[in-house]
Amino acid sequence: MEWLVVILNFIGQQILNVPAYLIGIITAVGLIALRRNAGQVVGGALKAALGFLILGAGATVVTGSLDPLGALILAVTGAQGVIPTNEVITAIAQEEFGAQSAYVLTLGFVVMLALARFTPLKYVFLTGHHMVFMATMLTVVLSVGLGDDLSWLVVVIGAVLLGVIMVVMPAFVHPWTKKITGNDTIAIGHFGTLGYIAAGAAGQAAGRRSKSTEEIKFPQGLKFLRDSMVATSLSMVLIYLVFAIWGLIALPLDEALAIFDVADAGAFIMAGFSLALQFGVGVAIILYGVRTVLGELVPAFQGIAEKVVPGAKPALDIPIVFPFGANAVLIGFLSSFAGGLIALGVLAVWLNPVFGLALILPGMVPHFFTGGGAGVYGNATGGRRGAMIGGFVNGVIITILPAILLLVLGQFGFANSTFGDADFGWFGTLIGLSLRAGTTAGIVLTILIAVILVAAAIIYQRKVVDTGWVPGSNRDQWIAGIKAEEKAQLDAEKARKAQEKAAQKPEQ
């Protein structure tokens, strides 16, 4: 059976682990189902794959500009602890659980398609790298709970849990996603979903009288800030320069220069300036990649909806919503980072001494992607206030939950990294704690969790999503009233000017 492990590992690691390939395959299947000719199938699949590669290139640029900033912040603040990085902890775990996680990943994808085909949860999760992260985490947690003697059961249960989580989470967040996009064509397939739901709910509760972040009116001299790329880059320039100057003051010169790998203080300042501009470039690349993917994938998905999984919706990575709130992304990112710092303080002062929870340091990359997404969700229901509060709530969530998750990761709980996004935290902890009831009871509880999640999601889909519930409808009515009032004032002003003009005309 070694050959089968090799094949499944190849499929899981070399195909399903690459979102661009997966998106291209799905697009090709959809176009074939729509009876497009060979040229259209190949062209559409390649363009969709290229769009995702463009998105990934933008993410790489963003990550490359944020990592030095994170190192600088940690150096000047002196914080020590665990930095949640999905890629790092996955790479560590793959050395021991690579074969099992490949089985879980492949079979879990099949379970997801079956659930999408035969239940009302018509979501096809297409964020390949997050599939790999979740498959790895479930394999580790189940292996710790069940032991090495039941590796086959780890694969079976892990596949079921993976398939379930990939269809239920897009369903739970879908009303907010529809609110953002304005239609029902795409869903979100990203395991930061709890943070996005919390952000949307927080925005709905706190931002009923707050205008959208995208309606920020800049003074005449600051009109250039209406360009989201310029505004984002300028904000990062200010952040980088503040910490760069702080670093030169607080750190020994050699230690500070080593962070950016430069020779002198002038080069250090300009390196920070350059990295900030690279961040803006990365965000612009991401937005272009998103538009390219949507332009090819959504039409092709009609074929899958009609033939393979009737009514299916593609569940895509979180940057898909960034174009719907460029200002909200930046606000959410900064607010999420602030929430992470506050939560780190709570861990240091209370939760670490009392409960032994690890100190989770704010990672710039997870705070940008999940915090930016949370900002968009918060803005959709609560405007500027919602974006700020939603991002802040997300920052607290992705700091506290990873600390709790470490308790059920066994030996991997002592690594210098962990899984960072919200759904890894709550789902992994729930499964891990269930397995502490004993082997038989733990198995029953994990299967029961899967059943409850599917049942709850089906009920939610039918009673909430399909009935057209719109989060933040009270704010929508307020905004409609404001616009109607502004229109009435504008019409009255036009009428007044018309009367004045008519009165000034000489009598014939």
pLDDT tens, residue order, the chain (508 aa): 677 777 777 776 677 666 677 778 878 887 887 788 889 889 988 888 888 788 778 777 877 887 888 788 778 877 667 778 787 787 778 778 877 887 888 788 889 989 999 999 999 898 877 887 898 899 999 998 887 777 889 999 999 999 999 999 999 999 999 999 988 889 999 999 999 999 999 998 886 777 888 887 766 665 565 566 776 788 788 888 888 999 999 899 899 999 898 888 999 999 999 998 988 888 788 778 767 776 776 677 666 666 778 888 889 989 899 989 988 998 999 899 999 999 999 998 898 888 888 888 887 778 988 999 999 999 999 999 999 999 999 999 999 999 999 888 877 665 667 888 999 999 999 999 999 988 899 999 999 999 999 999 999 999 999 998 988 777 767 666 666 666 677 777 777 777 777 777 655 4
Query: What's the pLDDT score for residue 486?
Result: 65
Please choose, from the candidates 317, 377, 319, 366, the residue with its C-alpha nearest in 3D space to the C-alpha of residue 343.
Answer: 366
Give the separation between CA 347 and CA 358, rounded to whole angstroms: 7
Q: Which residues of 429-458 are buried (b: 16+ CB within 10 A; e: fewer)?
A: bebbbbbeeeeeebbebbeebbeebbeebb
Q: Using H for helix, E for strand and C for coil, what is the string for 421-469?
A: CHHHHHHHHHHHHHHCCCHHHHHHHHHHHHHHHHHHHHHHHHHHHCCCC
| Cα–Cα distances in angstroms (integers) from residue 465 to residues 172, 315, 387, 390, 407, in the given order | 8, 15, 23, 21, 35
Secondary structure (DSSP) of 78-91: T--SB---HHHHHH
Residue type, 463: K
Q: Which residues pair with 316 in a beta bridge?
A: 188
- Which residues make Cβ contacts (< 8 Å) with residue 456, sequence separation at least 6? 168
What is the number of other CB atoms lying within 10 angstroms of the CB of residue 33?
17
pLDDT given for residue 376 in this prediction = 96
Q: Per the structure block, which two tokens stand in for 48?
A: 């969709």
- 187 three-state secondary structure: strand
Q: Which residues contact 261 (CB under 8 A, 6 or more apart)?
A: none
The token pair at 38 is: 């060979």
- Six-digit token string for 396: 């607290």
Q: Which two tokens stand for residue 22?
A: 């997966």
CA distance 358 to 395: 16
For residue 369, give the nearest of 426, 322, 427 by alpha carbon. Answer: 322
Per the CB < 8 A criterion, the answer to whether 237 and 280 are in contact is no
pLDDT of the residue at 505: 63
What beta strand segments (E) does 264-421 contain?
Answer: 313-316
pLDDT at position 394 is 97
CA distance 112 to 121: 10
Residues 375 and 313: beta-carbon distance below 8 Å: no
Name the amino acid, one letter, at 78: G
Sheet of strand 123-125: strand arrangement: 123-125, 313-316, 187-188
What type of residue is 296? Answer: E
pLDDT of residue 431: 95
Q: What is the DSSP string of 268-304?
A: HHHHHHHHHHHHHHHHHHHHHHHHHHHHHHHHHHHHI
C-alpha to C-alpha distance for 394 and 369, rounded to whole angstroms: 11
Q: Are 172 and 460 in contact (CB under 8 A)?
A: yes
> Within 13 Å of residue 456, how many CA atoms lie on the same side as its CB?
12
446 alpha carbon, distance to own chain's centre:
26
> Can you give the pLDDT at residue 194?
97
Q: Residue 456: what pLDDT? A: 97
Alpha-carbon distance of 307 to 305, in angstroms, equals 6
**Short-list 319, 268, 240, 250, CA closest to 19:** 319
